[in-house]
Amino acid sequence: MLTGSSSAAFFTRPRNVVLLATLCCLLWGSAYPAIKSGYALLAIGRDDTASQLVFAGFRFVLAGVLLLGMARAMGRPVLALSRADLGRVGLLGLAQTALQYVFFYVGLAHTTGVRASIFNATGTFFSVLLAHFIYTNDRLNRRKTIGCLVGFAGVMAVNLRGANELDAQFTLLGDGFIVIAAFVLSAASILGKRLSQQIDAMVMTGYQLAMGGLVLTLLGHALGGEQRGMGVAAASLLLYMAILSAVAFALWAALLKHNRVGMVSVFNFLIPVFGALLSALFLGEAILAWRNAVALLLVCGGIWLVTTTARTHPATA
C-alpha cells in the first residue's frame, strides 16, 4: 500500500501521469458503446430519459459500493468521515455525478451524438480556465491555449463525418445542456481536488459515486423510469460499467490531488476519440481510418503542449 509520500511521488511521475490519465480516458471512452449496448439489452428508448437515469444510477451506486469495499479491504478510513466531511462529499456527489448526468442525458436526448461529443469536449476548456483563476501556479499561457485548441480540433476531426454535421441550430435543451454538464463536471473536479487534500481520494470517490448514483436512481424512478429485462448479459455489462467507473474516477481523483488541474484535464480530449474508435470496433459504426489518425495526432499534440508546459514548474498544487 502506498504511503502519503510514495503516493505523491507515484502520481506525479510524468510517465505515470500520462499512462494513468490515458487509461482513465480509455475506460470512460469504452462507456459510450457500453451504454448503447445496455440500452439495447434493457429496451431503453432514446427519449426515455427517466429509465436512462435509473440505469446510470444503478451503475454509480454499484461503482461506489465496490470502491468503498476495496478501500475497506486495503485498510483505508472508510468509516472515519465526520458528519461535515460526509456533507461535503455528498455535495460533490450531487454535482459531479447526479447533476452532471441529469444535464448530460437530457441534452443527449435533444441533440445528435456527434454534436454532443464536440460540445462535451468544452469541459477541458472550462477546467483550464477555472484553474487559471483559482490556482496561482496553474495560469493559462500561450502554449497551453494552443494545446487546448489543437486538442479540440482533434475531437472535431474524429466526430465530424460530413459537411453539414454542425448546420443544426444551437438549442438550450440539447447543445446547451451538454455544455452545462461539461461546466458542472469541471467545477466539481475543482471541488474534488480540494476535498482530496483532506479526505482519502479513494474513499471520497466511493462515497460521492454511491450518493450521486442514489440521487439519480430515485429521480429516475420518480419520473417513471424502470429497469426491465436484467438478464445475465445486461447484469455483466452493468458490472463492467461499475468497475470502469470505480477505477477511472478513483485514479482521476488521485491524479487531480497531486497534479495541476490544467495538466490532467487536457487528457479529457482523448475520451471522445476513444469513444469513437471503440464504438466503431464494438458497434460496427463506420469511422474513416485517416480521420482517426489525424484526430489522434492532434489530440496527442495538444496534450504534449499542455503537459510539457506544466512540467517546467513543481508538480503539486
pTM for the full model? 0.81
229 within domain boundaries = yes
Nearest to 317 by CA among 147, 132, 186: 132
Query: Within a 10 A sphere around the Cβ of 197, how many other Cβ atoms?
Result: 10
245 within domain boundaries = yes
146 within domain boundaries = yes
Tens-of-pLDDT digits for all 317 residues of the chain? 555 567 788 998 989 999 999 999 999 888 888 888 888 899 888 788 899 899 999 999 999 999 999 999 988 989 888 999 999 999 999 999 999 988 987 887 777 666 677 777 778 888 888 888 888 877 878 888 888 888 888 777 766 655 455 555 677 888 889 889 989 988 998 888 889 888 998 999 999 999 999 999 999 999 999 888 788 999 999 999 999 999 998 999 999 889 988 788 888 878 877 877 787 777 776 555 666 677 777 878 887 887 775 444 444 44
- Would you state the pLDDT for residue 99? 94
32 within domain boundaries = yes
18 within domain boundaries = yes
Contacts of 79 (CB under 8 A, 6+ apart): none
Q: Give me the count of residues in the chain.
A: 317
Domain encompassing residue 239: 4-310
SS3 110: coil
Cell reading at 250: 478513483
Grid cell 477555472 is found at 130
- Would you state the pLDDT for residue 114? 61
Residue 198 contacts residue 127 (beta carbons within 8 Å):
no
> What CA–CA distance (Å, rounded) separates 267 from 18?
8
> What CA–CA distance (Å, rounded) separates 39 from 34?
9
> What CA–CA distance (Å, rounded) separates 148 from 154?
10
First and final C-alpha spacing in the chain:
23
42 within domain boundaries = yes
- Would you state the pLDDT for residue 113? 63
136 within domain boundaries = yes
- Would you state the pLDDT for residue 165? 52
The beta-strand segments (E) located in the chain are none
Nearest to 147 by CA among 254, 267, 43, 53: 267
- Would you state the pLDDT for residue 315? 42
317 within domain boundaries = no
Grid cell 481520494 is found at 201
Q: Report the helix count and the strand count for the chain, using DSSP H and E.
A: 14, 0
* Counted domains in the chain: 1
DSSP 266: G
Q: What value, to the nearest 5°, has the Cα angle with vertex 267 and ends 255 and 265?
A: 60
Grid cell 466503431 is found at 280
